[in-house]
């Protein structure tokens, strides 16, 4: 079946450095790619998303890139801060369905 | 306050004892979904509903049932729970409209279920 691979599973960075999380999806019909942030003890929260007709999207310190040919998409966080520490999930959805396929998550630790 | 609520937040039960986890949203959202979260496996979709009386299977529907009789509620039913259903469960909802509207999910706080 469809799946989304996410790497790395854990990532530690120094405050102020950049963090990159990568995902690969299998279903070529996927066309919507959100990223969620989950803080300890809470449900995931959408932080940014990208559609298949766009190669890059930026929102302040967060950016997402998409390579449809390679079926890769990545989350980039610049100037990381301690409050960026959380688990991040990527996901892929196929338009016309409501079937969400999530990656396995990346635990990001920003060291002060 | 716009929110998705789940009850109970914590539940310890025994194998075979039927249970229901309730989910309610006050945002008039059409779409609702249930997920389970397990270490190393991320979030896996159990069932989803695109409107009242419309439900469909996600990736891991075995052992679960859902119903959508009202727009705001989407209960998850475990008819005969087993230890492999021990997990953290999340309910989520989103509105109809643009693709972004449909896919921007609002998650509840989670229900931690232990089946012994």
Q: What whole-number distance in Å separates Cα of residue A46 and Cα of residue B93? A: 12
Q: Pick A42's closest partner by Cβ from B40, B44, B109.
A: B109
Residues A75 and A88: beta-carbon distance below 8 Å = yes
DSSP classification of residue B52 = T
The alpha-carbon gap from A19 to the nearest alpha carbon of chain B, in Å, equals 20
Q: Which residue bears the tokens 């194998």? A: B15
**pLDDT values of chain A reduced to their tens digit, one per residue, 112 residues:** 689 999 999 999 999 999 999 999 998 889 899 999 999 999 999 999 998 888 899 999 999 999 999 999 999 999 999 999 999 999 999 877 888 899 999 999 999 8
Q: Do A1 and B59 touch (CB under 8 A)?
A: yes
Q: What whole-number distance in Å separates Cα of residue B2 and Cα of residue A77? A: 28
């Amino acid at each position: 079946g469809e799946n989304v691979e996410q790497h790395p599973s854990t990532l530690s960075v120094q405050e102020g450095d950049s963090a990159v999380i990568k995902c690969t999806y299998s279903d070529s019909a996927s066309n919507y790619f959100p990223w969620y942030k989950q803080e300890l003890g809470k449900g995931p929260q959408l932080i940014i998303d990208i559609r298949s007709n766009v190669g890059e999207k930026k929102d302040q310190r967060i950016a997402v890139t998409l390579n449809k040919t390679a079926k890769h998409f990545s989350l980039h966080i610049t100037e990381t801060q301690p409050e960026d520490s959380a688990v991040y999930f990527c996901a892929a959805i196929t338009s016309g369905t409501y079937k969400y396929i999530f990656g396995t998550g990346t635990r990001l630790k920003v060291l002060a | 306050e716009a929110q998705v609520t789940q009850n109970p937040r914590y539940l310890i039960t025994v194998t075979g004892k039927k249970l229901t986890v309730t989910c309610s949203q006050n945002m008039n959202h059409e779409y609702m979904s249930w997920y389970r979260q397990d270490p190393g496996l991320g979030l896996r979709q159990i069932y989803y509903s695109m409107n009242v009386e419309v439900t469909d299977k996600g990736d891991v529907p075995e052992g679960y049932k859902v119903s959508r009789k009202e727009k705001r509620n989407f209960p998850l039913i475990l008819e005969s729970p087993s230890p492999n259903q021990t997990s953290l469960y999340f309910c989520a909802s989103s509105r109809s409209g643009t693709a972004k509207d449909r896919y921007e999910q609002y998650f509840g706080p989670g229900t931690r279920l232990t089946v012994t």
